[in-house]
Amino acid sequence: MDLKGYNSRIANDVNVALARELAVGEQKTLKEAMMHLPMSGGKRMRPMLALLVADAVSGSARRAMPLALALEIIHNFTLVHDDIMDKDDFRRGVPTVHKMWDEATAINAGDALFARAIEVLSTLDAPMTVFREVIHDVACMVRQIGEGQQWDMEFEKQKKVTEEDYLKMIERKTALMFMTGAKGGALIGGGTEEQVKAMWEYGKHLGVGFQIHDDWLNLMGNPKEFQKPIGGDLLRGKKTIIVLHAFATMSKKELAPVMKGFGKEKASKAVLAAAIKALAPSLKYAQDKAREHGNMAVALLKVLPDSEFKATLKDLAIYAVERRH
Amino acid sequence: MDLKGYNSRIANDVNVALARELAVGEQKTLKEAMMHLPMSGGKRMRPMLALLVADAVSGSARRAMPLALALEIIHNFTLVHDDIMDKDDFRRGVPTVHKMWDEATAINAGDALFARAIEVLSTLDAPMTVFREVIHDVACMVRQIGEGQQWDMEFEKQKKVTEEDYLKMIERKTALMFMTGAKGGALIGGGTEEQVKAMWEYGKHLGVGFQIHDDWLNLMGNPKEFQKPIGGDLLRGKKTIIVLHAFATMSKKELAPVMKGFGKEKASKAVLAAAIKALAPSLKYAQDKAREHGNMAVALLKVLPDSEFKATLKDLAIYAVERRH
């Protein structure tokens, strides 16, 4: 089964299960605010990864479902809170939770989503050691995602940010959820220690490649396909790997067109286009880096037995760094 | 050992363990923001309850420590987020986290505290069924505390609120943490089904009595002992059981002095004093109600073997509804 086929099958299962698992509780407002973002779409990449690894290890996607759902719910919880912190009004084409309701309700709904994720995860059918490790990993992941988010916010104000800082930040903020999903899928599938470790690393390269490619898409994506405004990161002054590379390698004169757009929310389209043009070498650098991570992820799959699922995991790693939206 | 002795011993253990468990992670700002409130005091009633019940069931407080710590960390997480939602600037005599840092950091620190609580809880040494049930209960508790908080916010704007609504709200927002702690302590202590059920009910009456008494103290407390501004709830327009009882039983004329202070943040001391005087019958009603719940909590202790810990649990139930701060 190819990536698209696997994804559309599991996305359906995940959507049905999410609708069921989130329709709980007696408080109407909270329930609606909790369901708003998870039910408004999303690629379901994180649950897919956990299920796909469990399938690749031992055909046991079904048993990994509580982890898959918990990760998708947590992903949505972090988005609800990030949108408050970043003061974003729209996501997935719909108003954010704090815009639909208010900040207090959005804080509360995010908290309740995180709690619900742990409730769902507590139904996991696995031996004690696996059960304990998966719960620990998921909780540790959320705390470290918070570290990534804090760094992300600080980097916007901080003068000197290195590529190493950036990589540490995206490893926490983005890759860790892929790492936890891939490792958890392997643990639940009864994988060997070698497989569990390799899947953790696979998740890391998949996630880091995914985020670097996302930064690239933010400048180079087709406005019709990419769901966010092109150049948004640059105009906002985000220190992506592309900008950091430009700062580190370009002369003041070469950087001039970039600086006309960097952190200037009201820059014109022409200014943005000139900035993107000037960033060409750094865009190339980022794209190469993303593909490197994609290739490293693929190489790690050698610990898995050959199967259609293993082939789909390979497709997923390539998709992460080649996708157009 | 009396209540004060038990509390000061465990408060010390809890404080030492909290300082250790919260000093984790690499992100300096997040770590400091996480530690700010938990390290600034608090009665440590919730961890004490879990430990005391485990001791009363089988002398196993030590094994209940991960639950005790998780509950105290979660209590602090909910306070950090509630303070943002309620726009409170001070708590325990120190600036709130969003005042010391900013709202984004406070949202993030609260999330990270919740995550850390689950990490700590995942170290629990207990049989699989107990481990699963405790984790489920704690997660379910957090979600339902969110329901209580949402109702609390809605009741401030809602015209018609009944005593039943109020009781449902405080059962979620306040009592559930006592219920989960007492039940969890009994589960971890290897209690019988009867004991586990009775401790859940004990926690409910303890918590409901504690909150009703808190509402009473908010009007009748000694300003030198009670840590919040006297009358704050009334001036803010909070629909406590006292106000709801007055609305339901007093004539429009009798209510007039109450309404001069209700929801009037800038009311004078004389207006407040007149409102409190007019509320005398409702204050008496609330105090009786709180004591009733204290007595019901005490009665539930009969399922426990006699011990100094059982005696301390009795003292705790009386303290909850008789304390002066």
Q: pLDDT by residue (tens digit) across A88-98?
A: 999 988 999 99
* Residue B325 belongs to some domain of the structure: no
* Residue B320 belongs to some domain of the structure: no
pLDDT higher than threshold 90 for residue B30: yes
Contact across the interface for B118 and A110, Cβ inside 8 Å: no
Contact across the interface for A135 and B146, Cβ inside 8 Å: no
* Residue B315 belongs to some domain of the structure: no
pLDDT higher than threshold 80 for residue B227: no
Contact across the interface for B27 and A118, Cβ inside 8 Å: no
Name which of B290, B36, B59 is nearest B170 in CA terms: B290
Instruction: Please tell me whether residues B259 and B224 are part of one structural domain.
Output: yes
ipTM: 0.97
- The predicted pLDDT at position A226 comes to 77
Contact across the interface for B84 and A105, Cβ inside 8 Å: no
Contact across the interface for B27 and A146, Cβ inside 8 Å: yes
Q: Which residues of B touch A146 (CB under 8 A)?
A: 27, 30, 108-109, 111-112, 115
* Residue B196 belongs to some domain of the structure: no
Instruction: Please tell me whether residues B187 and B213 are part of one structural domain.
Output: no
Question: Each residue of A224-269: pLDDT tens digit?
Answer: 887 788 899 999 999 999 999 999 999 999 999 999 999 999 999 9
Compute the distance between CA of residue B207 and CA of residue B169 in angstroms, rounded to an integer: 12
Contact across the interface for B103 and A122, Cβ inside 8 Å: no
* Residue B198 belongs to some domain of the structure: no
* Residue B197 belongs to some domain of the structure: no
- The predicted pLDDT at position A151 comes to 98
For residue B152, give the chain A residue with the closest CA: A27
Give the end of a domain, one of B140, B164, B191: B191
For residue A80, give the chain B residue with the closest CA: B107
pLDDT higher than threshold 80 for residue B291: yes
Question: Each residue of B107-140: pLDDT tens digit?
Answer: 999 999 999 999 999 999 999 999 999 999 999 9
Return the CATH number at A189: 1.10.600.10
Determine the structural domain holding residue B233 and report its residue range.
205-310
DSSP letter string, A113-179? HHHHHHHHHTT--S-HHHHHHHHHHHHHHHHHHHHHHHHHHHHHH-S---HHHHHHHHIIIIIHHHH
Give the end of a domain, one of B135, B161, B191: B191
Per-chain mean pLDDT for chain A? 96
Q: Which residues of A touch B150 (CB under 8 A)?
A: 27, 29-30, 105, 108
Instruction: Please tell me whether residues B72 and B8 are part of one structural domain.
Output: yes
Name which of A73, A100, A108, A110 is nearest B151 in CA terms: A108
Instruction: Please tell me whether residues B155 and B212 are part of one structural domain.
Output: no
Instruction: Please tell me whether residues B150 and B74 are part of one structural domain.
Output: yes
Of the candidates A25, A107, A149, the beta carbon closest to that of B81 is on A107
Query: Where do the H-state alpha helices sit in chain B?
Result: 3-22, 28-36, 45-58, 61-85, 97-100, 103-121, 128-157, 163-170, 176-188, 193-220, 232-236, 241-249, 252-259, 269-278, 280-300, 308-322
Of the candidates B84, B132, B141, the beta carbon closest to that of A122 is on B132
Instruction: Please tell me whether residues B66 and B161 are part of one structural domain.
Output: yes
* Residue B210 belongs to some domain of the structure: yes
Instruction: Please tell me whether residues B261 and B140 are part of one structural domain.
Output: no
Instruction: Please tell me whether residues B170 and B291 are part of one structural domain.
Output: no
- Separation of first and last alpha carbons in chain B: 22
| Residues of chain A with confidence (pLDDT) below 70 | none
Total number of domains in chain B: 2
Min distance B229 CA to chain A CA atoms (Å)? 23
* Residue B163 belongs to some domain of the structure: yes
Q: Which residues of A touch B115 (CB under 8 A)?
A: 114, 139-143, 146
User: pLDDT band at residue B93, thresholds of 50, 70 and 90?
Assistant: confident
- The predicted pLDDT at position B228 comes to 80
Min distance B306 CA to chain A CA atoms (Å)? 34
Contact across the interface for A142 and B107, Cβ inside 8 Å: no
Largest Cα span, chain B = 61
